[in-house]
Structure 1
Amino acid sequence: MSSLRQQVCQSLLGRKRVLEICTAEKENSQQTTPPQKTRLCSLDTFRGIALLVMIFVNYGGGRYWFFEHAPWNGLYLADLVFPWFIWIMGVSMAFSTRSLLRKSVPRWKIFKNILKRSCILFALGIILNTYGGYNNLQKIRIPGVLQRFGISYFVVSSVHLLFTKPNDIHQKKIWASVRDILPYWLEWLIMFGILLTHILLTFLLEVPGCPKGYLGPGGIHNGGDYFNCTGGAAGYIDRVILGEAHIYQHPTIKVIYLTELPYDPEGILGFLTSIFLVFLGLQAGKILLTYQDWKPRIGRWLIWGTIIGLIAIILSKASINDGWIPINKNLWSISFIFATGAMGFYLLSICYFIIDVKKWWTGAPFFFSGMNSILIYVGHSLTSELFPWTWHVGQTHWEHLAVDLWGVTLWVIISIWLYYKKLFLAV
């Protein structure tokens, strides 16, 4: 563009419009390199949706029963947000790993960063477990949400780092239509091994005084026949390895089934299925990287969602309690991760189509929160009992609902302010 033309443009259209014209011309020029790909807002929006719904239910959800977690088997709204959040972590993982490899960062350095981030997440989780005065080291709870994030991230990222390539080198192969799967067959083998380990431990481990494969809550469940079998193998592994004092002491089932044993919904055995759920999210990310057009992306996501959704339905027999493997967040059962993973594929497809393809929605206000997820999650945990996020109200649902919605809204306002100040916390 000549200097004369620039002057005319500046006088007629203003500086902002000139920059847009110049940028457009630069992108269309054959003598320049292609422009960098824009950030997919749908990913941050998805993450923001999961995060803000999680904060809402953690604040109390207006004290409505349908905003609480399922007592044992079943799937409520509150049961969806954590697995969605962990699934979307897998999607982002595909981008970050390939980006670092394309920058020629040595794999050992990438692994070092993976280990560092995992340790930070685990440590933050332990610290949050001591909030509210629970800082007696002899009774400190070891498992938790961020601990689950840290371990799952470490395993899936490390395995993926071993097999991924910085570039798509299989575009002209005969099997190019499935190149998001076949080159990673060893990765799949390892992950299926982890899933198989979960199945074998769940159904074959000898738990004293309990039948093999018991998946119930114990207590007065089934007439009290298995009173001290809470969680079956999952609860037993936690009590043996971590000790009863270092797992969650007040599970919801204690009130309903009058159980006496502590039980942790973020326990050790559930790490195996959460790892596989992150891996399913990673598969969604591989599809994004491999196929550039929106149609094959959404088509494959919908296929994946349908396949694993059907597996969840078959395993649970489309029943709350009568399936082979009921959908159960307390156990992080296989049917649970397949059901929530299927919803993840569907929800990402919807967000991607509406936000990034059709541009019908910017993703606001969820997008802003998704850009600063760790800061907002930790922040909401630390301020859950503090004004102005919450205050004492009466006993009616609408009063609690108003306060809980205000707490979420305040975090939305904070996330928008942080976004425009370009302040982001990354672990």
Structure 2
Amino acid sequence: MKERILSVDIFRGATIVLMILVNTPGTWSAVFPPLRHAKWDGYTPTDLVFPFFLFIVGTSIVFAYKNKVANSGTYKKITIRTLKLIGLGLFLGAFTLSFPFFKDFADIRFPGVLQRIGVVFFFAAILFLNFNWKVLIGIAAFFLIGYWVLMTVIPVEGVASTLERAPNNLANWLDVKVFGTHNYKADYDPEGLLSTIPSIVSSLAGIFTGLILTSKQEKKATILMGIGGSFLIIGHVWDIFFPINKALWTSSFVLVTAGWANLILALIYYLTDVKKMQFGSIFRYAGANAITLYFLSSFISKIMGMIKIGETTLHGWLFDTAYTHDFMSLQLSSLLYGLSVVAFYCLLAYVLYQRKIFIKV
């Protein structure tokens, strides 16, 4: 039987619940600031969610592959799972209600959340199978420093590089050159090609945490808090030279988000696995089918935004009819809608868990 650490399951589930919450407000025109992404540099609580998931992907890799051998069979399983994640992401981006149920090729976005999870999982798992923790630290440092150098030193078509949202931003320029019309925005993609390099380190940080949690070290919570605090300090110092930025997934962003992930996981670990306090079961249920819940929430939300009811959509009609009231601010109405969506998927997670239905992607 695979070793289970309750705090890891709770952290994974809480992360996927937050991903659903921030992705499904009642209306994007009225969202409380902490539930929005930073406009460019800096970060909000919402900006922590995706790197937290990549972090816990790395931690889960340790549990899944620590006793595996690096052979063709293991590589095949890793590759198949990677292709499934990428395929699901491309399907989400391409699906439409009108026949033939797919957008025109030129309008399909190639990068995406599930695509990035798949690619990061692939490289993090392969690296974990082939190198010890000391080498992985060296690889992580090389990726972060190398990305910093690439983004700040290399000119773009003869123009000095910038970290602003501009044509001479190397990451943005590369996405436009490689993906063309297949980006999230015309000039950049937050899950772009070059920024995938540091995002792999977000998962490697989770691997280091997983190795600590499965080790015979004492006071694991203290160690994780020390690592988390150190990452936060280094990340915020690096922010002076390489600004914290989710859209570019900068090296400082990797360290700051990994720092918060370690601090929060350390607290949950101390309370649940050390002190044996009972809480967060609903998050554990959500974590058991995390990718399934995320895919379903994204797919159903997309369909509700496509179905027309009069001058609005099914989503808009439901929000306007059931959630908007004169005695309530539009922001609060929007939040309540999102919380209702979260409640639905938490209930679904509970039912799946109780029936022992675990859909592996």
Equivalence map 1:18-417=2 (5 Å): 39-60=4-25, 63-101=31-69, 107-132=71-96, 135-163=103-131, 183-208=132-157, 210-212=159-161, 214-218=162-166, 228-229=167-168, 232-243=169-180, 245-249=181-185, 261-291=186-216, 293=218, 295=219, 297-316=220-239, 323-385=240-302, 386=304, 391-393=318-320, 394=324, 396-417=330-351
Deviation of the 1:188 alpha carbon: 2.9
Q: Is the 8 A contact 1:390 1:404 kept in 2?
A: no
299-308 vs 187-196, which deviates more?
A: 187-196
- Aligned mates of 2:135, 2:228 — CA distance in 1: 22
Deviation of the 1:285 alpha carbon: 0.5
Deviations 1:112-150, CA, capped at 9 Å, x for gaps: 111111111111111111134662112311111111111
275-284 vs 184-193, which deviates more?
A: 184-193
Q: Is the 8 A contact 2:3 2:63 kept in 1?
A: no
Deviations 1:75-123, CA, capped at 9 Å, x for gaps: 111111000011011011111111434xxxx622111111111111111
Partner of 1:173: none
Query: Which residues of structure 2 form unaligned runs of 5+?
Result: 305-313
> How well do the aligned residues superpose, as a CA RMSD in angstroms?
2.1
37-46 vs 79-88, which deviates more?
A: 37-46
CA gap 1:262/1:347 in 2 versus in 1, 3 angstroms: same
Q: Is the 8 A contact 1:41 1:362 kept in 2?
A: no
Q: Is the 8 A contact 2:55 2:202 kept in 1?
A: yes
CA gap 1:335/1:140 in 2 versus in 1, 3 angstroms: same
Which structure has more relative contact order (CA 8 Å, sep 6+)? It is 2
Q: State the SS of the aligned residue for 2:106.
A: coil
Which amino acid is 1:146 matched to?
L
Query: Which residues of structure 1 form unaligned runs of 5+?
Result: 1-35, 164-182, 219-227, 250-260, 317-322
Deviation of the 1:51 alpha carbon: 0.8
Q: Is the 8 A contact 2:9 2:287 kept in 1?
A: yes
Which amino acid is 2:47 matched to?
D
409-418 vs 60-69, which deviates more?
A: 60-69
Deviations 1:293-348, CA, capped at 9 Å, x for gaps: 4x1x11221121122111111112xxxxxx21111101101111100000011011
- Aligned mates of 1:197, 1:121 — CA distance in 2: 27
Which amino acid is 1:235 matched to?
N
- Aligned mates of 2:281, 2:317 — CA distance in 1: 24
User: How many residues are paired up?
Assistant: 337
Which amino acid is 2:211 matched to?
K
**How many percent of aligned residue pairs carry the same amino acid?**
31
Q: State the SS of the aligned residue for 1:138.
A: helix
Which amino acid is 2:25 matched to?
G
- Aligned mates of 1:304, 1:194 — CA distance in 2: 19
